[in-house]
Amino acid sequence: MECPHQHQDILSHMLIYCDENGQYLAEHDIVNKILGLLIGSHETTSTVCTFVVKYLAELPQNIYENVYQEQMAIAKSKAPGELLNWDDIQKMKYSWNVACEVIRLNPPAQGAFREAINDFIFDGFSIPKGWKLYWSANSTHKNPEYFPEPEKFDPSRFEGTGPAPYTYVPFGGGPSMCPGKEYARMELLVFMHNLVKRFKCETLFPNGNVTYNPTPIPAKGLPVRLIPHRS
């Protein structure tokens, strides 16, 4: 028999859900889950899409051109009206390296909290079990020990085996790594494909400052000029 609620949105499901004791979710639990979903599924990827446009518009021509050539090779392999598929996504290696470098320089999640499950000593500091710890993405993303010339945009950092483990952590690491990593990768690459296939971009405020609220945002917004490719 068809469930009468199966076509409702996730908020509706949480409002009508009750556990084995007949208890409904508390209002603050619903609010926390909705905020987590909004931040995790929209704020982060939209931030990266913004900076992908910014960097493709500002970087040396060869970086945009390499992304364009890779994406056009995929576009030309498709029949008219045929959509991208998973195999196409796997071919976007250079484009993903560019996206990874965008995320390294401007990680949408600045870090997260964890709880110490045992007493331990780190860099001379004694951390008791149960303490809340905050890890920062930029503490390694811009560490010259792991990323030489950390302010330089260099997609080649992600070729081969890429950065050392736990130095590039925009999605966290270990068992608590973001479960949406592959979805985010697909979303970003599909966005890049459709952007560069149609347009070249120019920013009106090149190399502008970046503010944080708490995700990175171009201080003056990102007004761009879209220049259609000639057919």
- CA distances 113 to 97, 132, 134, 137, 213, Å, are 27, 6, 4, 12, 18
Residue 147, pLDDT score: 96
Tell whether 117 is covered by a domain: no
Tell whether 26 is covered by a domain: yes
Number of other residues whose CB lies within 10 A of the CB of residue 54 = 22
What is the arithmetic mean of pLDDT over 117-124? 92
Residue 92, pLDDT score: 97
Residue 123, pLDDT score: 87
What is the arithmetic mean of pLDDT over 212-228? 89
pLDDT for 109 beyond 90: no
Domain count, the chain: 1
Residue 47, pLDDT score: 92
Contact 51, 216 (CB under 8 A): yes
User: pLDDT over 70 for what percent of the chain?
Assistant: 96
Q: Supply the CATH number for residue 29's domain.
A: 1.10.630.10
Tokens 């608590």 correspond to: 176
Tell whether 113 is covered by a domain: no
Neighbour-count burial of 184, counting CB atoms closer than 10 A to its CB (0-12 exposed, 13-18 middle, 19+ buried) = buried
CA neighbor of 109 nearest in space, from 155, 179, 48? 48
Tell whether 98 is covered by a domain: yes
pTM given for the model: 0.82
Tell whether 124 is covered by a domain: no
Instruction: Look up residue 123 and give its two tokens.
Output: 């860099």
- The residue that leads in pLDDT, 18 or 116, is 116
Instruction: Look up residue 227 and give its two tokens.
Output: 């220049």
Residue 231, pLDDT score: 64
Lowest mean pLDDT: which of 72-76, 111-115, 165-169?
111-115
Phi and psi, residue 78, nearest 5°: -95, 145
**CA–CA distance, 107 with 219 (Å, rounded to integer):** 16
pLDDT in tens, 57-78: 998 789 999 999 999 999 999 9
- CA distances 97 to 94, 102, 111, 163, 189, Å, are 5, 9, 21, 11, 10
Is 178 annotated as belonging to a binding site? Answer: yes
Band (pLDDT 50/70/90 cuts) for residue 7 is low
In 17-92, where does DSSP find H-type helix? 27-38, 44-58, 61-76, 86-90
What is the arithmetic mean of pLDDT over 146-157? 95
Please give the helix or strand (H or E) that residue 183 lies within, else none: helix 181-198
Tell whether 49 is covered by a domain: yes
β-pairing, 224-228 with 199-203? Answer: antiparallel
Tell whether 69 is covered by a domain: yes
- The residue that leads in pLDDT, 192 or 38, is 192
Residue 152, pLDDT score: 94
Domain enclosing residue 93, as ranges: 10-108+142-228
